[in-house]
Structure 1
Amino acid sequence: MPSSHNAESLRGCGGVAVQLLSDAFHLPALRTSVPEARRRVTTALRAWGVTEQLRDDAELVVSELFTNAVRHTDSERVSCELTLDGARLRVAVTDQGHSDSRPQAQPRSTDRECGRGLLLVGAVSEDWGVRPADTGRGRVVWADLAY
């Protein structure tokens, strides 16, 4: 598996130094990669000293987004990037594949299997969204969580 990277820097923000932490990893687009993605996220956030609540929320978000990328696209690999920037943690999951639909929460899907995960993502995050991947193929689904 490709190795992850950690980056740390200080930036000025209104005269106050803000620490930026980031980590990224890539895993095969397999169901068995979902628990590995959760483990990697939890390990990075624990090393950064974030609260248990934020770790739990980020673990839920990465689990849902990674699972969607594996189940609903024809990707060979899925990437995850974490960025802790002041009071915000961004979790971004990038797939390589094609899907016939855009990820969206299904408000009336409590009895259905599909769509509930994004309702959970929306419930624990301040905001979330979808954008095309920088490679031109696939997409990035991201969520911002308050720290």
Structure 2
Amino acid sequence: MPEIDPPADPAASRGCWLPRSRRSPLLARRMLRALLERVPEGHRFSEVGELLTSELVANAVVHSGVPGWLIWVSFDVNDTRLRIEVHDASDQPPALQQTDLTAGCGRGLLLVSALATEWGHFPRPGGVGKVVWCECEPAPVAVTS
């Protein structure tokens, strides 16, 4: 299991180092689920949050290009938004791609762009790598009759 940092407010944020591995998107989704279970109305971020987490972590695993380096994943949530950050060791910025309809990959950032309220990237503090981030809103409250 990944080592998790001690958060300032345990109900609102979490972060951990993950291996650059195909299992890391799953581990990151599990960490997000555990966080959202402790946050009031956190379930409203689950569906989109898990998809965005999978895409950003998978991109870091596939495209960071530096064997053996770790990936830092962090989440911060409040009433109005979930912020996801993924740090990797590559300086190469993420790029939206138009893919062929038959291509098996290449749509991750298109999904992030479509589902996130905002997303972007910036150089990682310390000069090595980058941070790719996105934010999403909670799903609407279901109205029952």
Superposed CA deviations along residues 91-144 of structure 1, whole A, max 9, x for unmatched, are: 01111235xx42122244443234301111112110101111112111110001
User: Within the alignment, does 1:64 sit opposite 2:55 as a pair?
Assistant: yes
Cα drift, residue 89 of structure 1: 1.3
- 2:15 match: secondary structure: strand
Choose from 118, 125, 128 the match for 1:134.
125
RMSD: 2.1
Cα drift, residue 52 of structure 1: 3.1
- 1:8 match: secondary structure: coil
The 8 Å contact of residues 25 and 54 in structure 2, kept in 1 or not, is answered as yes
Listed as ranges, the gaps of 5+ residues in structure 2 are: 139-145
Choose from 22, 32, 41 the match for 1:41.
32
Quote the Cα distance in structure 1 between the aligned partners of 2:84 and 2:71: 13
Identity of aligned residues (%): 32
Number of residue pairs aligned between Structure 1 and Structure 2? 135
The 8 Å contact of residues 130 and 141 in structure 1, kept in 2 or not, is answered as yes
Residues 132, 114 of structure 1: alpha-carbon distance in 2 compared, 3 angstrom cutoff = farther
- 1:7 match: secondary structure: coil
Listed as ranges, the gaps of 5+ residues in structure 1 are: 10-19
Quote the Cα distance in structure 2 between the aligned partners of 1:81 and 1:145: 14
Residues 139, 109 of structure 1: alpha-carbon distance in 2 compared, 3 angstrom cutoff = farther
Residues 107, 51 of structure 1: alpha-carbon distance in 2 compared, 3 angstrom cutoff = farther
Going by fraction, where is strand more abundant, 1 or 2?
A: 1
Cα drift, residue 88 of structure 1: 1.7
User: Within the alignment, does 1:116 sit opposite 2:117 as a pair?
Assistant: no
1:1-147 to 2 correspondence within 5 Å?
1-8=2-9, 21-73=12-64, 74=66, 76-98=69-91, 101-147=92-138
- TM-score normalized by the length of structure 2: 0.81
